[in-house]
């Protein structure tokens, strides 16, 4: 090796060391544990609903064939379900899954998921009360149990980070009882106007928007946030970003569009906050959206905690008549905070480029 090559190697050595130090190796077992944790989080609600199913209904509606499965434990579970005319064997297998007894057994995880899906499908299709027809394919299980571009360890850790970032803000929205079912009063300016969300296209987000509009309630967003926390659409960047944008938009609308009547807020206050809200939000990085959610979220608790927003007997319009003087102060400060953060990010990037 020549002297120049040795000098170059010595110069690059710290970089190589740093890069290696930042690279985290994840063991196969660790990945399997996170995969199973994800699976139990996704199936928990379905198992809970099946526990509520009357025994008589399961006895008359369930007809399972053990030959459809390959795993010995799942075959035994199906056989016992048929013999006992009960879902208790399924719940016993569920407890072993939750207890991580089959963490290194992907076939058990897959076929248990298929079994839950098959039971739900039969109960729905064969129930005389139901007119729903579900597509009789297990192909959707592959989407549930396979992540295309990441690992379960990374995906779950990242989702947990997002959940914690918006937790305080979402708890504030959940605590609002005032006008929960009259949020969108027709003679007011309205909290929620669906046409403002035409750029959000993910099916889950669109469904939430439609239900919020139909129910005149924040409840669909709260349900979607619970699903978000339970790892729904774990490997779906579009869902992640559009869910966060919807969350931010609802915060914004609570502060401006349903906080008062025309002329109440100063024009410069409205311009300041709507500039952030409408400035091509779909192109903002997710971290900027999170920061905006956090900043607006910091401004909402004073309204909720001190100004009777949590009073279920007080309509939003009545509340506003009592507290309208506070809105320009709170929203104005939120606009300044978010605007300053975005300006600082742009300044830091420009400084770095130079």
Please write the tens of the pLDDT for every residue from 318-327: 544 554 444 4
Query: What per-residue confidence (pLDDT) applies to 73?
Result: 94
Count the Cβ atoms, other than its own, within 10 Å of residue 162.
17
pLDDT recorded at residue 283: 63
Does a structural domain hold residue 149? no
260 burial level (CB within 10 Å; 0-12, 13-18, 19+): buried
Please check whether residues 120 and 164 belong to one and the same domain: no
49 and 175 in a common domain? no
Would residue 52 count as lying in a domain?
A: yes
- Domain count of the fold of the chain: 2
Say if residue 148's pLDDT is above 70: no
Residue range 8-19, pLDDT digits in tens: 344 444 443 443
Residue 305 lies in a domain: yes
Model confidence at 132: pLDDT above 70: no
| Any domain includes 335 | yes
In this predicted model, which residue has the larger pLDDT, 108 or 188?
Answer: 108
Estimate the crossing angle of helix 219-229 against helix 237-255, to 10 degrees: 140
Give pLDDT tens digits for 212-246: 878 777 888 888 998 888 888 877 888 888 898 88
Say yes or no: 172 and 106 in one domain.
no
163 shares a domain with 119: no
Specify the pTM: 0.56
3 lies in some domain = no
Mean of the pLDDT values across residues 261-287?
51
């Amino acid at each position: 090796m020549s002297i120049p090559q040795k000098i170059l190697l010595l110069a690059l050595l710290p970089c190589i060391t740093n890069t290696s130090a930042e690279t985290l190796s994840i063991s196969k077992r660790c990945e399997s544990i996170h995969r199973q944790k994800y699976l139990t989080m996704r199936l928990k609600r379905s198992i809970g609903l099946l526990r509520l199913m009357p025994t008589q209904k399961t006895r008359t509606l369930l007809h399972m064939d053990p030959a459809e499965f390959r795993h010995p434990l799942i075959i035994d579970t199906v056989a016992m379900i048929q013999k006992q005319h009960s879902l208790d064997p399924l719940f016993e297998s569920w407890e072993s899954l939750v207890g991580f007894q089959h963490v290194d057994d992907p076939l058990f995880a897959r076929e248990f998921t298929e079994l839950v899906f098959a039971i739900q499908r039969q109960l729905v299709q064969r129930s005389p009360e139901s007119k729903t027809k579900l597509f009789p394919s297990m192909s959707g299980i592959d989407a549930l149990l396979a992540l295309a571009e990441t690992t379960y360890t990374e995906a779950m850790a990242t989702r947990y980070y997002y959940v914690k970032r918006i937790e305080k803000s979402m708890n504030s929205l959940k605590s609002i009882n005032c006008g929960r079912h009259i949020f969108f009063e027709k003679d007011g300016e309205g909290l929620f106007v669906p046409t403002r969300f035409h750029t959000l296209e993910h099916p889950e987000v669109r469904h939430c928007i439609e239900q919020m509009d139909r129910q005149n309630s924040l409840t669909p967003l709260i349900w979607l946030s619970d699903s978000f926390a339970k790892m729904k659409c774990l490997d779906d960047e579009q869902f992640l970003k559009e869910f966060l944008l919807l969350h931010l938009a609802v915060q914004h609308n609570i502060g401006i569009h349903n906080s008062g009547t025309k002329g109440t807020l100063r024009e410069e206050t409205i311009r300041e906050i709507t500039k952030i809200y409408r400035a091509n939000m779909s192109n903002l990085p997710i971290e900027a959206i999170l920061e905006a959610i956090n900043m607006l979220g910091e401004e909402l608790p004073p309204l909720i905690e001190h100004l009777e927003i949590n009073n279920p007997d007080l309509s939003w319009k009545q509340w506003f008549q009592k507290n309208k003087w506070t809105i320009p102060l709170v929203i104005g400060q939120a606009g300044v905070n978010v605007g300053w953060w975005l300006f600082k990010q742009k300044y830091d990037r420009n400084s770095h480029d130079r």
